[in-house]
């Protein structure tokens, strides 16, 4: 199981240090649960100093597809590696919605992340109109195909996929465990088709969208749910720790 906190554009440097310290002192090394946190870029270095040696892994929320160059405001994969990142979230729905990211762009970033030994957490998920039109499986299938184009894997641990229905993110409205199970099974079949049975079966598929301490266990119990990508609830140590606890059961 894998539980990753996506802090989004929250917490200043002092608060980032405080929250990561609280997690380190409570979590120590997890047996069956891997834990990652993704602070804003400006806090990565400071949070890495806190996490170092703890077993909690660091991730970024986005990156540029080039190594370096004239791309004002952007951050590259080598820069993320240099500050200790293991993961990078790519194609989050907020990036797709507010920053016009496309599947083709996500695929170029995922290839670049792999080239620099970062583990991409590639996000997919349908909007509410797409769900209501019963297009969710088609939409997610297309996102997976196009966002993972040219991505080569030697091992399942080199990629994470997060299913995040857009209508469940930050809305307090969670997909039902049945909806999550059905979609994760669908994603698993696509991954097995794309990367072969052995690798496809081992890729972690996270659910994200209003995961809270009181619904985490029901979601994590379902087949093909290998953990969660946690937004709002990752900003409070107690809530995030309860969610990690739910994954441990
Ligand atoms: P949420 O966000 O848990 O606040 O719904 C999840 C995400 O966007 O990764």
Per-residue pLDDT of the chain (249 residues; tens, 9 = 90+): 999 999 999 999 999 999 999 999 998 666 689 999 999 999 999 999 999 999 999 999 999 999 999 999 999 999 999 999 999 999 999 999 999 999 999 999 999 999 999 999 999 999 999 999 999 999 999 999 999 999 999 999 999 999 999 998 888 888 899 999 999 999 999 999 999 999 999 999 999 999 999 999 999 999 999 999 999 999 999 999 999 999 998
Instruction: Find the catalytic residue in 164, 181, 184, 186.
Output: 164
> Which domain CATH number covers 209?
3.20.20.70
**CB of 164 shorter than 6 A to ligand 1:** yes
> What is the pTM for the complete model shown?
0.97
Question: How far is residue 179 from each of residues 21, 166, 207, 225, measured CA to CA in Å?
Answer: 35, 14, 11, 12
| Domain assignment present for 241 | no
Question: How far is residue 182 from each of residues 48, 156, 198, measured CA to CA in Å?
Answer: 36, 21, 21
Q: Which domain holds residue 45?
A: 2-234
| Domain assignment present for 24 | yes
| Domain assignment present for 84 | yes
CA of 234 to the centre of ligand 1 (A): 9
| Domain assignment present for 77 | yes
Q: Which of 171, 210, 236 to mutate to test the pocket of ligand 1 (most atoms within 8 A of CB)?
A: 210
Calculate the CA 32 to chain-centre distance.
18
In angstroms, rounded to a whole number, what is the distance separating the alpha carbons of residues 246 and 24?
18
| Domain assignment present for 174 | yes
Q: Which of 89, 164, 206, 243 to mutate to test the pocket of ligand 1 (most atoms within 8 A of CB)?
A: 164
Q: How many CB atoms lie within 10 A of CB 89?
A: 25
Annotated catalytic, 184?
Answer: no
DSSP 82: H
Calculate the CA 179 to chain-centre distance.
19
| Domain assignment present for 246 | no
Number of domains the chain is built from: 1
Residue with the smallest CA separation from ligand 1 atom 9 is: 231
| Domain assignment present for 175 | yes
Instruction: Find the catalytic residue in 34, 64, 92, 101.
Output: 92
| Domain assignment present for 248 | no
């Amino acid at each position: 199981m894998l539980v990753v906190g996506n802090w989004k554009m929250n917490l200043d440097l002092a608060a980032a240090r405080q929250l990561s310290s609280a997690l380190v002192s409570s979590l120590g090394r997890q047996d069956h649960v891997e834990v990652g946190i993704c602070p804003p870029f400006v806090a990565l270095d400071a949070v890495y100093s806190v996490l170092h040696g703890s077993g909690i892994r660091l991730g970024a929320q986005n990156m540029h597809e080039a190594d370096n160059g004239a791309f004002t405001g952007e951050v590259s994969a080598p820069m993320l590696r240099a500050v200790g990142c293991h993961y990078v979230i790519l194609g989050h729905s907020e990036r797709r919605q507010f920053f016009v990211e496309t599947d083709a762009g996500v695929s170029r970033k995922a290839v670049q992340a792999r080239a620099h030994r970062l583990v991409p957490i590639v996000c997919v998920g349908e909007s509410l109109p797409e769900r209501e039109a019963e297009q969710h499986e088609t939409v997610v299938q297309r996102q997976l195909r196009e966002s993972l184009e040219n991505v080569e894997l030697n091992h399942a641990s080199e990629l994470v996929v997060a299913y995040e229905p857009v209508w469940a993110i930050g809305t307090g409205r969670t997909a039902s465990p049945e909806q999550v199970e059905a979609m994760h099974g669908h994603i698993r079949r696509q991954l097995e088709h794309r990367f072969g049975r052995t690798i496809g079966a081992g890729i972690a598929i996270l659910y994200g969208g209003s995961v809270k301490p009181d619904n985490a266990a029901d979601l994590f119990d379902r087949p093909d749910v290998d953990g969660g990508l946690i937004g709002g609830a990752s900003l409070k140590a107690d809530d995030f720790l309860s969610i990690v606890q739910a994954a441990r059961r």
